[in-house]
Structure 1
Amino acid sequence: MHILYLVPHVPNPTKIRSHFQVRGLIDAGHQVTVVTLNRSLTDAKNIAKLQQYGVKVIAANLSRYQSFWSAFKTLPTRYPLQSRFMWSSQLMNDIREVLKNDPPDIIHVEHLRMAAYGLELLSDWPIVWDAVDFLSSLYGQAQTFTTSLLNRQIYAVESKRLQAYERWLSTQFPATLVISRKDQALFQENNIYSDRIHYQPQGLPLIPTSASNERANNLLVITGTLNYHPNIASVHYFVDKILPLVQRSFPDIQLQLVGANPAKSIEAMQTNPAIKITGFVPSITDYLSHSTIALAPVIYGSGIQIKVLEAFLTSTPLVATSVALRGLDVQDGREVLIADTPEEFAIAIERLLSDPKLRTEIGEAGRKYIEANHDLTQTTAKLISIYQQVIESGELST
C-alpha cells in the first residue's frame, strides 16, 4: 500500500505519534511518502534521516512570518488560528503533483493544522484524518492555568473556535483517528457520524529493558518538550511545590529535565544544584532507563501523555497525577503511584526511593501494560485495517 502522509512537523523522535506510525508502516512493507513543512535547520536534518530510512519526503519551506500571517487572516472569520497556521500554497501545489505522478492508495492527514490540505482533496481521494486528540480541551484548560491576561483571552476565543471546527472536521472525513478512548468519546458526543471516530493507540517498539543495577540512585527524571506550555506548567509545579518536600528526607536527590527547547523559565532552574537540564537528547529512553523514578506531575493536558508510555516502556517506576493518566486503564499501586497533591506526590516518591522491591514491581507492571496495549506491530496492523476499510467503502466526502 502507498500512503501519502501529511504531517505538520517532520517525524522525528520528539514527535512520537508520526515518528512511529511512519516507522511501523515502513517496517510492515508499505510505501510512505511524507508531506511536511521545513521550518528550520533541525527539520532539514530530520528530513535527511527519514530519507535514509527509506521514506520519500516532500517538504515546502515555511517561515514564521508566513505561519503567523496565515493564522492572522482567520481572525475576522469563524475559523481557529490553528486551522491555517501550517498553510502553504507551495505545499498544496506539491501535493497535487505527487497525486498526479505517483498516486497513493490513501491519504493520511495528521493534526488539525493539516486538515485544510485534506479538505482540498476530499472529493477525489480516500482520506483518514488523525486528529490525535480533542485540541479544544487543551486550550480550555490552558485558559485556566495561564498567568497572562492576553493569553487567557486568546485561549478563550481559540478554544471555542477549535471545538466547533474539530467537531465539524470529524463529520467531513471518512475516518477520524484519536489517541485515547477519552478523546474518542469527546468527538462522538452529539455526532451523527460517531461510528467514523476510531481509537488508534500510540504504538511503541518493544525495546529491551535495563537491569535494576544499571539505574542511578536517587535520580528523578521528567521528560517532554520543554517549551510546550503544559510541560512548562508541570515542571514549575514539581520544582516549586514538590521537590522541596522530597529534599527534606532525601537531601541528595537529583532531578533531570530531559527534553528539547527548554523555556527561559526552565533554563533559569539550572542555578539549583539539584537540577540538571539536558536539552535535546537522541534517545529519551536511555535517560529513563538510567533513572530511579520517572515523574509525570501533569496539571493539565489532553490526549495520552507520551512521557507516561515511555516510562512504562523502559520499566521505570512512575509517579503521576490523575491528569497524566487520562485515557489509560491503569491502577494506583499496580502500574503507577498516583498523587494529586504536592504532599501525596512527595510521599509517593519517598515510598519508591525507600523500597527497591516496589520499584521493580511497578516498573514491570508498566512494561506489561505497554506490551498488551501499545506494541507498535499491533497498532500498525490496526491502522492498516482502518485504511483498508476506508478504501473499500469508496466513501470520499460527506
Structure 2
Amino acid sequence: YLLQKRNAMTDLRTPARWPAALYSLVQWRKLVRYERAICQTANAVAAVSDADRQALRQLDGAANIHVVSNGINMDEYPVHPAAPAKAEARLLFTGKMDYRPNIDAVLWFCRHVLPLIQRQFPSATFQIVGMNPHPRLDEIRHMPGVEITGAVASIQPYMQAATVYVIPLRVGGGTRFKALEAMASGKAIVSTRLGVEGIPVQHEQELLLADTPSEFAAAVMRLLQDNATSTTLAAQLGQSARAFAAAHYDWQQITPLFEDMYAQVRRQTMR
C-alpha cells in the first residue's frame, strides 16, 4: 500500500499523470484493507525494512512483525573495481523497466540530471538495462548517450563496464535489490535517499546521496573527474559498499533471521 500511496503522490504533481494518480489512490485504499487483514490473521509478518515495518504497524499495532531483509549471495557477484579515471563516463541503471518506480527514475534522470552531466562530460553515456522497456521510455530512447537494452542474459558485463551506478528512485518501498547488487559488485554508487531506503548506508562512506537534479549531477561528476582524488573516492566507496553488503546482506547473515522468526512462531503455536 505504501508503494501505491507514493505513486499517487508523485503522479499528482503532473497534470498529465492525474489519471494514473487516481488509479493509485484507489489501489492504495484497497491495499490498506487487504494488508491490514493479512497482518491480523498471520502468526508473523516479515518486512524487508524497518520503514516497511513501521508502515505495517500503522495498519495493525498488534501484529508480530519481524524485519528480515532481502539477501544476496555474495559469491555470485565478482568485484568490479571502479573504471580507470580516463575511461569513458559510463552510467548504469538496472531493473525491470515496466515497473513504475523504475520508469519514473530513469525519466527523471534523463530529463533533469543527465543534461547537467553531459555539459561537463559530453561523451557520458547512460545505460538502462532491464526487461520489458515501457512505451513511456520511447521519449528518451534517442537522447544522446542513452541506451535502453531490454532483457539481457547477464548484468555482469554492464556492471563491470560501469563507471558509476545510479539509483535515481523517487517512489517505491522495501529494500532495493538493485542497490545490493551494485554494492556486492563493488561499484561506486550515487542514489537518492529513497533509493537506498531500508539499507542503513551513510553518505560518503558506502555511497553518495543526492535528491535534487543539481545535487545528483554534482555527485556523479565528482566521481567522474580525471584526477587521483576522484579515482580514490570511487574505489573507496566501492570497497566500503561491498564490505557492508557482505557484513549485513549475505544470505549467511539473513537466513538465521528467518529461522528465528519461524522458531518463535512454532513456540507460540505449540502453547
**TM (normalized to structure 1)?**
0.62
Q: Note closer, same or farther for the CA distance 1:285–1:185 as it changes in structure 2 (3 Å cut).
A: farther
Corresponding position: 1:352 with 2:223? yes
Residue of structure 1 equivalent to 2:80: 210
Cα RMSD between the aligned structures? Answer: 2.0
Matches for 1:1-398 after TM superposition, within 5 Å: 136-146=1-11, 147-189=16-58, 191-194=60-63, 196-206=64-74, 207-212=77-82, 217-354=88-225, 355-394=230-269
Secondary structure of the 1:188 match is helix
Q: Note closer, same or farther for the CA distance 1:285–1:382 as it changes in structure 2 (3 Å cut).
A: farther
Secondary structure of the 1:295 match is strand
- Cα distance in 2 between the residues matched to 1:213 and 1:318: 13
Structure 1 position 197, deviation (Å): 0.3
Contact 1:285 1:310 in 2 (8 A): no
Structure 1 position 214, deviation (Å): 8.1
Q: Structure 2 unaligned segments of length 5 or more: list them.
A: none
Structure 1 position 394, deviation (Å): 2.2
Secondary structure of the 2:206 match is coil
- Cα distance in 2 between the residues matched to 1:311 and 1:282: 17
Residue of structure 2 equivalent to 1:121: none
The code of the aligned residue for 2:131 comes to A
- Cα distance in 2 between the residues matched to 1:337 and 1:174: 39
Q: Note closer, same or farther for the CA distance 1:217–1:395 as it changes in structure 2 (3 Å cut).
A: farther
Secondary structure of the 1:148 match is helix
Q: Note closer, same or farther for the CA distance 1:211–1:323 as it changes in structure 2 (3 Å cut).
A: closer
Q: Structure 1 unaligned segments of length 5 or more: list them.
A: 1-135
- Cα distance in 1 between the residues matched to 2:126 and 2:199: 26
Residue of structure 2 equivalent to 1:86: none
- Cα distance in 2 between the residues matched to 1:388 and 1:379: 15
Contact 1:222 1:294 in 2 (8 A): yes
Q: Note closer, same or farther for the CA distance 1:353–1:389 as it changes in structure 2 (3 Å cut).
A: same
Secondary structure of the 1:333 match is coil
Secondary structure of the 2:45 match is strand
The code of the aligned residue for 2:40 comes to T
Structure 1 position 324, deviation (Å): 0.9
Structure 1 position 154, deviation (Å): 1.9
- Cα distance in 1 between the residues matched to 2:29 and 2:191: 29
Contact 1:321 1:338 in 2 (8 A): yes
Contact 1:174 1:395 in 2 (8 A): no
- Cα distance in 2 between the residues matched to 1:314 and 1:154: 37
Contact 1:137 1:159 in 2 (8 A): yes
Secondary structure of the 1:163 match is helix
Contact 1:180 1:200 in 2 (8 A): yes
- Cα distance in 2 between the residues matched to 1:233 and 1:224: 12
Structure 1 position 212, deviation (Å): 4.1
Contact 2:128 2:147 in 1 (8 A): yes
- Cα distance in 2 between the residues matched to 1:224 and 1:292: 18
- Cα distance in 1 between the residues matched to 2:156 and 2:62: 39
- Cα distance in 1 between the residues matched to 2:158 and 2:219: 21
Structure 1 position 388, deviation (Å): 3.0
Secondary structure of the 1:220 match is strand
Contact 1:289 1:315 in 2 (8 A): no
- Cα distance in 1 between the residues matched to 2:17 and 2:144: 29
- Cα distance in 1 between the residues matched to 2:81 and 2:190: 20
Contact 1:218 1:253 in 2 (8 A): yes
Q: Which moved more, 1:335-344 or 1:139-148?
A: 139-148
* Relative contact order, higher structure (CA 8 A, sep 6+): 2
Secondary structure of the 1:189 match is helix
Q: Which has the larger radius of gyration?
A: 1
